Structure 1
Amino acid sequence: MEVNFKKSYKFAFKSSLYISLFTAAVLLLFNYYFHSVNNWFITLFIFFTFVFSFFVIQFRVERFIYKRVKKIYDDVSLLENASFRNQPITTDMATLTKEVKKFARDKKLEIETLKIREEYRREFLGNVSHELKTPLFTVQGYLLTLLDGAMDDKNIRKKYLQRAEKGVERLIYIVKDLDMITKLEAGDINIEPSEFDIVELIQNVFELLEMRAAKKNISLTFDLHYKRPIKVIADQEKIQQVVTNLIVNSIKYGKQGGTTEVSIEDLVNNKVIIRITDNGEGIEKHHIPRLFERFYRVDKSGARSEGGSGLGLAIVKHIIESHSEKIYVESEFGVGSEFSFTLEKAK
């Protein structure tokens, strides 16, 4: 480590001055009584005393401080803070205090971040185990029932195997979503932008989800008839998943006989915004900040009865952000919700 002495000799100067004044007083007093000392000698002696004291005090004090400060640097270096460890050792107390305070702040922030991550990790593991446990136990229950003798009844065997298959499908769905969101968060999924018609893509999603919406008598519509294609630039497959997840969500929480309406509007800076609006149950305000967290559910019992992985909105957020775009949500409890996101419009 490099030693960085501050070029301020105020302490040594004052200390040397006090010693010199004391020496001068003693010599003058001695000369007053004995008249045996030459005045020039007294002046030179005081001057050299001052110079000698100044350098001795400056050197000794800085060495004294340096040894103790170095121990502080060595101690904090054990905490593996490279930025602090690589700094030159300073004997200036103001600079040292500032550095130690900054080091303490950084460490406190680091500890708080680790605590948040640890809490998030525990919550995530708990959610994963809970999500996987339900379909696993369901499949296990049906299979054990069949092994215990129900297999001999053809009707029961077929029904239970079909139910077990649904449980396995949900497990596969959860695992696929987990794999995708892990890759999205790690940046392992590449975005492959292309030019496509967002109106046609939404219409295809409507057709895919038509039967699911029909079970709750929910109509899937545009806000108006779009006569011309609206071309955007994005990863078509991933944007289709975004639209699918948002519409599935609106159906899941939509009311019987409700509507899910999609609108496409032009924005400034060559952008379009896609709005997906429903007149479902809506979301209470205190839930909105956490909507895009993994496995977060507004209505835990209701959502699980509807199925799903609990990762849909988290995947939506990551896909949109990986396009360097924005996603928004507005909701009024008991009235409905609107999810919207932006995309780059093709020129």
Structure 2
Amino acid sequence: MLHNSRVVALVLATVVAAVTTAFLSLVPEVAALGLLVAGLISFAATYLLVYVVFEFLVFREIGEIYKVLNKMRKKDFSFIEEGNAEDVSNPLKKINREIYNYGINRHKEIEDLKKLEAFRREFLADVSHELKTPVFAAQGFVHTLLDGAAEDKKIRKKFLKRAARSLDNLDVLIQDLLTLSQIETGEIKMHFEHFNIVNTVSDVIDQLENKAERKDLLIRFDKPYKDPIFVYADAERIYRVVMNLVSNAIKYTDEGEIVVGFEITDQKVEVAVKDTGVGIPPEHLKRIFERFFRVDKSRSKEKGGTGLGLAIVKHILEAHDSKVSVLSTVNKGSIFSFKLPIGQSTAEMEEDARREMELMEEEEYD
């Protein structure tokens, strides 16, 4: 590279010196010594100028571009960590910056693909494991019956119930997978409406009350809510969200209570589900909304569930431009909360419609 810049500078300097000397030789007043001095000065000045320009502004930048391309060819993206805050007034530096930015984007794409590949492998392994459990259980009960146990009515009924329970669990798992997939692909559209969130939560509490009583747990509101609290959301999906959160609270609470409360702030209604359960370790908080992720896989298997409940909660709330927040302390309990836009009652909507009609009539009259 140095050799090339020197050769270019030498050739150009020689040409410029020769032209300058030839031009000055046409002037009679210029002596031979003057021609020699002028030639040397033009040669030296041109050589230095061309050398500096080519060496520091051309060949060096081309060398940097080559280094970046060579590393990218070898799939070495370590140069990205070095940063590049150089001035980009030089066109070659601009090209180098573009290549550098391309390298950054390519590196990010590769990292994302690696993460997706790891997620795909983990997801397939989890799905296979989750499907295998109920299928093998039902298969075992059916084959036992086929091997002769069906002759005993008591055993036959007992095994058929267990097989049916396993198949029911399989159906729930498949339905949750379909729901999650449809939400992610946008096949399930949210139908927004104004509804009373207090009634929704009350329905969930009524539905799960027996389940809580079997564990000697209490489900209640944090205080009496005599007046309705309206939100603007998909009522059916929000019912599913509250159902999953309260059901999880019951599942991971061995004693105490589950409390649901509301708080209205900045045109938002915050819904909070608090339990006195086992809590979640801090290192697992970021992963609890992943599909099939369980803090304690052995205990979670015993307690049942598909491992998709919180993932569905996350995606439903994201479709509402909201998110679920978690505060948890191990062996003390957890608080899951989310916010929804405040809604209007039927009377308020009718009043707004009446006012709009009056304004339209006034505009027509004017």
TM-score category (smaller protein)? 0.7 to 0.9
Residues 29-40 of structure 1: pairs in structure 2 closer than 5 A: none
User: Which one of the candidate residues 251, 256, 267 is aligned to 2:265?
Assistant: 267
Task: Look up the match of 1:199.
Answer: 198
Corresponding residue of 1:320: 317
Alignment counterpart, residue 19 of structure 1, candidates 14, 19, 42: 14
Structure 1 residues 110, 153: CA separation in 2 closer, same or farther (over 3 Å shift)? same
The residue number in structure 2 matching 1:177 is 176
1:289 aligned counterpart, secondary structure: coil
The answer to whether the aligner puts 1:337 opposite 2:334 as a matched pair is yes
Change (3 A) 1:234 1:15: farther
Whole-angstrom distance in 2 between the partners of 1:275 and 1:346: 18
Take 2:7 and 2:96, find their aligned partners in 1: how far apart are those partners? 21
The residue number in structure 1 matching 2:236 is 237
Give the distance between the partners of 2:35 and 2:222, measured in 1 at CA: 105
Amino acid at match of 1:294: R
Shift in Å, 1:21: 5.4
1:114 maps to what in 2?
113
- 2:223 equivalent to 1:210: no
User: Which whole-Å CA distance do the structure 1 matches of 2:298 and 2:144 have between them?
Assistant: 26
Matched residue, 1:227? 226
The size of the alignment, in residue pairs, is 317
Query: For structure 1, which runs of at least 5 residues remain unmatched after alignment?
Result: 1-9, 32-36, 50-67, 80-90
Asked if 1 retains the 8 angstrom alpha-carbon contact of 2:220 and 2:258, the reply is yes
1:297-332 deviation per Cα after TM superposition (whole angstroms, max 9, x unaligned): 011111111111100000001001100112100000
* SS in structure 1 at match of 2:143: helix
Q: Equivalents in 2 of 1:25, 1:272: separation in Å? A: 85
Query: Tell me, which stretches of 5 or more residues in structure 2 are unaligned?
Result: 44-62, 76-89, 345-366
Identify the residue that residue 358 of structure 2 maps to in structure 1. Answer: none
Give the residue type in structure 1 aligned to 2:190. I
Deviation, 1:94, is: 2.2
SS across alignment from 2:261: strand
1:227-256 deviation per Cα after TM superposition (whole angstroms, max 9, x unaligned): 111111110000000000001100110113
Distance in 2 between residues matched to 1:107 and 1:326, nearest whole Å? 30
Deviation at 1:163, TM superposition (A): 0.7
**Residue 136 (structure 2) pairs with residue 137 (structure 1):** yes
* CA distances 1:64-89 after superposition (whole Å, capped 9, x unpaired): xxxx9xx99x9999x9xxxxxxxxxx
Q: What TM-score does the superposition give when structure 1 sets the normalisation length?
A: 0.78
Q: Go from structure 1 to structure 2 and tell me whether the alpha carbon gap of 1:315 and 1:26 turns closer, same or farther (over 3 Å shift).
A: same
Specify the alignment match of 2:254 in structure 1: 255
Q: Give the aligned partner of residue 286 of structure 1.
A: 283
**Aligned mates of 2:163, 2:19 — CA distance in 1:** 103
Q: CA deviation at 1:108?
A: 1.2
Partner letter of residue 280 of structure 1? Answer: G
Aligned-residue CA RMSD in angstroms? 4.1
CA–CA separation in structure 1 for the residues paired with 2:103 and 2:285:
34
Structure 1: distance between partners of 2:6 and 2:324: 61
Paired with 2:99 and 2:162, the residues of 1 have a C-alpha distance of: 63
Residue 223 of structure 2 aligns with an amino acid whose one-letter code is L
Relative to 1, partners in 2 of residues 1:100 and 1:11: Cα closer, same or farther, differing over 3 Å?
farther
**CA apart distance, 1:262:** 0.2
After superposition, the C-alpha distances for 1:111-130 in whole angstroms (9 at most, x for unaligned) are 11100000000000011011
Distance 1:237 1:277 in 2: 22
1:108-158 C-alpha deviation (Å, 9 max, x unpaired): 111111000000000000110111111111100100111111100001111
Instruction: Note the C-alpha offset of 1:40.
Output: 12
Counterparts of residues 122-161 of structure 1 (less than 5 Å):
122-161=121-160
Counterparts in 2 of 1:245 and 1:11: CA distance versus 1, 3 Å: farther
